Amino acid sequence: MRLLVVEDNRELAELLTKGLDAAGLAADVVATAQDARDVLATTRYAAIVLDLGLPDEDGLGVLRSLRAREDTTPVLVLTARGGVQDRVVGLRSGADDYLAKPFALEELVARLQALLRRPGELLGRSLRVGNITFDTEARQVFVGDTPQFFSAREVAVLEILMRRSGRVVSKKLVEDQLFGLSIDVGSNAIEVYIHRLRRQLADSGAKAQIHTVRGVGYLIAEDKAP
């Protein structure tokens, strides 16, 4: 489980990473909004600690673009601006929590741990829907105990859906996430991947299905008992 710390104050960033490390949370650090955007385009983090006062851009801009592409990674905003108005703006922009400087490291760690426990997007290494399991590190999918063989792109699409199981995922989000993984997709590609996934999962006795929600997107859900 990796976190991203976006903080331009080097001493504070160092203090944060040490404190997180002591709590068993490894963190990458970037110091500008641009670096945050770059790393977030390709890397999935379990949570983000985001300073608002960054040298090149307001951290809220990073947060807004993250949420605009429906990325639900928990974000804890860290800022010197502790006023009620700033807090409201931060939360309205999609922050999950808000901590004003100066803060106690213990409180930051406790709040992050609470965010990581929050249900919603599945953050674990092993995903499960019905009898489909997905080891996200080994990139291996099983139906029951039987390993399944999909292309890397199909596996990427399945992961996006399984991380949001039971919820509708827009086609645009799937495209954006694939793009973020540097996977180039043609116009009908998503439909093709979904079609292949659906057929193979059905053929191998999966007790979950990928449903199409017309005009909206896709949803993977466990089959209801008859």
Residue with smaller CB distance to Ca ion, 51 or 96: 51
For position 159 contacting Ca ion by CB under 5 A, the verdict is: no
Q: How far is the CB of 79 from Ca ion (least distance, A)?
A: 8
Under rule CB under 5 A, residue 53 binds Ca ion: yes
Q: Is 96 in the site for Ca ion (CB under 5 A)?
A: no
Nearer to Ca ion, 53 or 61 (CB): 53
Residue 35 interacting with Ca ion (CB under 5 A): no
Number of residues engaging Ca ion in binding (CB under 5 A): 3
Q: Among residue numbers 2 through 21, which ones bind Ca ion (CB under 5 A)?
A: 8
- Interaction between residue 51 and Ca ion (CB under 5 A): yes
Instruction: Give least dist CB 52 to Ca ion, A.
Output: 7
Give 4's contacts (C-beta < 8 A, 6+ positions apart).
27, 28, 29, 30, 36, 39, 40, 43, 45, 47, 48, 49
For Ca ion, the binding residues (CB under 5 A) are: 8, 51, 53
